[in-house]
Amino acid sequence: MNTIERHEFDLDRAQRNMDDSIQILHRRVHNIPDDVTKNMFSAAMAASAVKWFSTSDPLAQQPATRWAATMATDLYAGLFLGAATPPGTTITINIVNTPHTLNGAGPIRKATLDDWIQLFWFYALSRSPQSRRAIHALPEHHVIPTGRWPQHRIHRYRALTALDNNDPTWTDHLTAAQEAITNPGYVEPDEATLLEAPILAILATIATGDQTAFTTAVTAAVHAHHTYYTAHTHRSRDCAGYTSIPIAATCALATDHGLTLTVESDYLPTGLIHPGWYPTTTPN
C-alpha cells in the first residue's frame, strides 16, 4: 500500500466545528423545509459536516460521518429533483431513510454546474438511485445557463453524464476537458492544476483500465491535494482540505469499473468509496 500523510491542522478548532455540525444537522434533519429554495435546505452544510467529521474519522468508518454523507447525498438530489419539478406540483424524496414531500421550484440558481458536480460526487460515492435520477433531471442549458463557466468544467460535465449513460463518447468529452484545462478561464491556476486536472487524470484511467496508471494517478492527485492545501495558511484551515470528496468519488467510479484502490491516506475516506454505507446499497 502507498500511504500518504495528511497535513497538520488545528485539532481544537476542528473539534468545535464538528460538535457544531452535529447539533445543526440533528436540528435540520427534523426540520427539512418543503421547498428547496429555503435557506434551511442546505446540502452544502451536510457536505461540510462530512469534512469536519473526517478530522477525527478520516476513513469514514463512524456512523456520524456516514449519516452526514447520506444527508448530503439526499439533499443534493432533492435540490435538483425539486428544481426539475414545476411549481405547483410536488415530489417525494427520501432524506436519510425518511420520505419528504417537496414543492416543485422549477430551475433555480443553486441547481447549476457548481452544485451539480457536488451532486455527482456524492452520487458516485453512494450509488444512490435517487441521485442518479437527479444528475439527469435537468437539461444541460439549465445546469449550465448562459454565463462565465470554465470550458474544462463544461466538458467534464458532459464526460460524466455520458459515462453514467455508458455512452462511449464520454472519452471525447474527457479529452476536451483535459485540453481546456491547460488554459483555464475563470479559475485560479493552481486550483485547476492541483485540484481539477488530477481528477481528470484519474478518470482517464477508467477508459484504459490500466491499474498501474490508476495507482499513479491517485497518488499524484493526493499529493497535489496536499500541496494545494498547504500552500497558504488560510487553505490549511479550510475543511475542504481535510478530506477529498472529488478524489474519493473518482476512485469509487474507478473501482466500479474494475480497478483496485491501493493508496492509503487520511485524505481518502475509504469507508465512503466502497459500496455498503448508503442505505440502498450493499457491500461488494
Report the C-alpha gap between 276 and 273 in whole angstroms.
Answer: 9
Q: Residue range 261-284: average pLDDT?
A: 87
**Buried/exposed code over 177-205 (b: 16+ C-beta within 10 A; e: otherwise):** bbebbeebeeeeeeebbbbbbbbbbbbbb
Give the model's pLDDT for residue 2.
64
- Residues in Cβ contact with 270 at an 8 Å cutoff, skipping those fewer than 6 apart: 59, 60, 248, 261, 264
- Residues in Cβ contact with 22 at an 8 Å cutoff, skipping those fewer than 6 apart: 49, 64
Q: Is residue 40 very low, low, confident or very high in pLDDT (cuts 50, 70, 90)?
A: confident
pTM (2 decimals)? 0.94
Report the C-alpha gap between 27 and 67 in whole angstroms.
Answer: 14
Cell of 274: 466502497
* Residue carrying C-alpha cell 480497478: 259
Q: What is the pLDDT of residues 179-190, one digit of tens each?
A: 999 988 888 899
Structure-model confidence comparison of residues 2 and 93, the more confident one: 93
Residue 268 phi, psi (nearest 5): -110, 105
Q: Residue range 47-73: average pLDDT?
A: 93
Report the C-alpha gap between 261 and 215 in whole angstroms.
Answer: 7
Q: Residue range 87-97: average pLDDT?
A: 94
Q: Helices in the chain by DSSP H: which ranges?
A: 11-29, 43-53, 63-83, 113-126, 129-135, 140-143, 151-164, 170-180, 189-191, 197-208, 211-229, 233-236, 245-256, 270-273
Q: Is residue 284 very low, low, confident or very high in pLDDT (cuts 50, 70, 90)?
A: very low
**Is the pLDDT reported for residue 148 higher than 90?**
no
Give the model's pLDDT for residue 25.
80
CB-CB neighbours of 136 under 10 Å: 12
Give the model's pLDDT for residue 1.
58
String of DSSP letters for 80-130? HHHHTSPTT-EEEEEETTEEEEEE---S-TTSSHHHHHHHHHHHHHH--HH
Which run of H or of E encompasses 241? none
